[in-house]
């Protein structure tokens, strides 16, 4: 395949019915939909979304990662109570951001989705941050077009021999300047988007790296609207956030904890004052079952948004419409499957 071929709280937390059977023809341009592990779901049914979380991660490295390193029944026993708690608090959709070669298990996610009543989404792509520890060896030999072919194949045929399809593209980079591999991963993600319409989410080290990502994506013919700057909270210069959002990108503050709530409220105030509240995403980057640690290690739950952040936003003068914008409308738009060609 060559490049030419890639062309108030109660109301807020009222959940819609979940895991319904939707009569959707994937690929139609007549409506917006998101792709979950149980199939496509109309964007207006996706509900309250946490756009960056994890269920399970294995940090052993691409050369050693294997499903033989964990037992699925143990993972389900550990994780399911936290997902059920999320549903009880008013969450509808959890976007699971663990990529391949780092512990992605789509069959596990589908089982957890069915048992919890939550929509779960998974991804395609390779993760190039952490000095490329999680990049498979073949990626160094293959050009961006060939990498993209593999990711497109997961979209067309399903992941790991299943009919489960990715809902977005996930990759990751360290701080600027980017390595040759990291630049190639961004290019491959852009090429994949042009065929699949999947949104590109990139774990990003700093603001300069984010600007470089956006440059590679736009040079590849993709609009910034198809790009999410993951972990934007790591960049303390707010001008980078404003510039990226004004260009069309999605600014994801996704390391929420009880200690960081005041900073997240300030960030959201600044974005609202600049007319950019419609370009933000908020999540915990929480979880997860740690493969290789006894009992899966410590699992951090998904409650801070509901128990601390939402009350803090209301106290700070944010409206119900603002909160619905942040947690319902924005994720539905950001992750809608559609080609955004520049």
DSSP letter string, 225-284: GGEEEETGGG---HHHHHHHHHHT-EEEE----TTTHHHHHHHHHHHHHTT-GGGEEE--
Question: What pLDDT does 269 receive?
Answer: 98
Specify the residue for token string 């917006």. 32
Question: What pLDDT does 2 receive?
Answer: 44
d(CA 220, CA 214): 10
pLDDT, averaged across the chain: 93
d(CA 216, CA 160): 29
Q: What is the mean pLDDT of residues 218-231?
A: 98
Task: Report percent pLDDT > 90 for the chain.
Answer: 91
Q: Answer whether residue 22 shows pLDDT above 60.
A: no
Q: Answer whether residue 15 shows pLDDT above 70.
A: no
Residue 23 pLDDT level (bands cut at 50, 70, 90):
very low
| Contact yes or no for 327/206 (Cβ under 8 A) | no
Kind and range of the H or E run holding 212: helix 207-219
Q: Answer whether residue 259 shows pLDDT above 50.
A: yes
Residue 256 pLDDT level (bands cut at 50, 70, 90):
very high
Cis peptide before 137 (omega within 30 of 0): no
Residue 131 buriedness (CB in 10 A; 0-12 / 13-18 / 19+): exposed
Question: What pLDDT does 31 receive?
Answer: 64
d(CA 226, CA 341): 9
Question: What pLDDT does 114 receive?
Answer: 98
d(CA 180, CA 177): 9
* Greatest mean pLDDT among 17-21, 31-35, 131-135: 131-135
Question: What pLDDT does 103 receive?
Answer: 97
Q: Which tens digit of pLDDT belongs to each residue from 269-327?
A: 999 999 999 999 999 999 999 999 999 999 999 999 999 999 999 999 999 999 999 99
Q: What are phi and psi of 213, to 5 degrees?
A: -55, -50
Question: What pLDDT does 190 receive?
Answer: 98
B/e letters for 241-254, b = 16+ CB within 10 Å, e = fewer, are bbebbeebbbbbbb
d(CA 177, CA 229): 16
Residue 237 buriedness (CB in 10 A; 0-12 / 13-18 / 19+): exposed
| Contact yes or no for 102/57 (Cβ under 8 A) | yes
d(CA 291, CA 310): 32
Q: Answer whether residue 180 shows pLDDT above 90.
A: yes
DSSP 8-state assignment for residue 39: E
Q: Among 133, 310, 334, which Cα is nearest to 232's?
A: 334
What the block records as the tokens of 341 is 């060609």
DSSP assignment of 86-132 equals HHHHT--EEEE-PPTTTT--HHHHHHHHHHHT-EEE-EES-B-HHHH
Question: What pLDDT does 279 receive?
Answer: 98
| Contact yes or no for 263/230 (Cβ under 8 A) | no
Question: Greatest CA separation found in the chain?
Answer: 54
d(CA 305, CA 225): 25
Cis peptide before 127 (omega within 30 of 0): no
Question: What pLDDT does 234 receive?
Answer: 97
| Contact yes or no for 48/12 (Cβ under 8 A) | yes
What the block records as the tokens of 309 is 């952040």
Q: What is the mean pLDDT of residues 221-233?
A: 98
Q: Answer whether residue 59 shows pLDDT above 70.
A: yes
Angle value at C-alpha 151, between 146 and 153, nearest 5 degrees: 95
| Contact yes or no for 185/147 (Cβ under 8 A) | yes
| Contact yes or no for 225/210 (Cβ under 8 A) | no
Q: Which tens digit of pLDDT belongs to each residue from 65-112?
A: 999 999 999 999 999 999 999 999 999 999 999 999 999 999 999 999
Question: What is this structure's pTM?
Answer: 0.92
């Amino acid at each position: 395949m060559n490049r030419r071929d890639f062309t108030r709280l109660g109301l807020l937390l009222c959940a819609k019915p979940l895991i319904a059977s939707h009569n959707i023809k994937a690929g139609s341009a007549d409506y917006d939909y998101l792709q979950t592990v149980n199939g496509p779901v109309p964007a207006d049914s996706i509900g309250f979304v946490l756009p960056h979380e994890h269920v399970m991660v294995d940090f052993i490295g691409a050369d050693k990662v294997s499903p033989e390193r964990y037992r699925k029944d143990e993972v389900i026993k550990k994780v399911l109570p936290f997902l059920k708690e999320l549903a009880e608090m008013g969450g509808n959709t959890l976007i699971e951001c663990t990529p391949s070669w780092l512990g992605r298990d789509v069959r596990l996610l589908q089982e957890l989705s069915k048992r919890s009543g939550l929509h779960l989404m998974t991804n395609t792509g390779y993760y190039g941050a952490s000095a490329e520890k999680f990049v498979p060896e073949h990626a160094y030999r293959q050009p961006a077009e060939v990498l993209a072919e593999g990711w497109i194949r997961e979209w067309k045929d399903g992941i790991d021999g299943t009919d489960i399809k990715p809902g977005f593209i996930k990759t990751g980079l360290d701080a600027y300047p980017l390595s040759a591999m990291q630049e190639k991963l961004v290019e491959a993600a852009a090429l994949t988007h042009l065929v699949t319409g999947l949104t590109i989410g990139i774990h990003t080290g700093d603001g300069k790296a984010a600007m470089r990502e956006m440059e590679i994506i736009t040079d590849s013919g993709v609009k910034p609207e198809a790009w999410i700057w993951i972990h934007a909270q790591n960049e303390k210069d707010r001008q980078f956030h404003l510039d990226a959002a004004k260009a069309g990108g999605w600014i994801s503050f996704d390391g929420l904890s009880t200690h960081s709530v005041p900073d997240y409220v300030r960030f959201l105030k600044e974005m609202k004052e600049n007319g950019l509240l419609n370009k933000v995403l908020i999540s915990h980057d929480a979880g997860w079952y740690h493969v290789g640690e006894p009992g899966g290690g410590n699992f951090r739950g998904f409650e801070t948004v509901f128990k601390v952040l939402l009350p803090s936003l209301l106290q700070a003068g944010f409206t119900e419409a603002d909160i619905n914008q942040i947690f319902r409308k924005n994720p539905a738009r950001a992750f809608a499957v559609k080609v955004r060609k520049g």
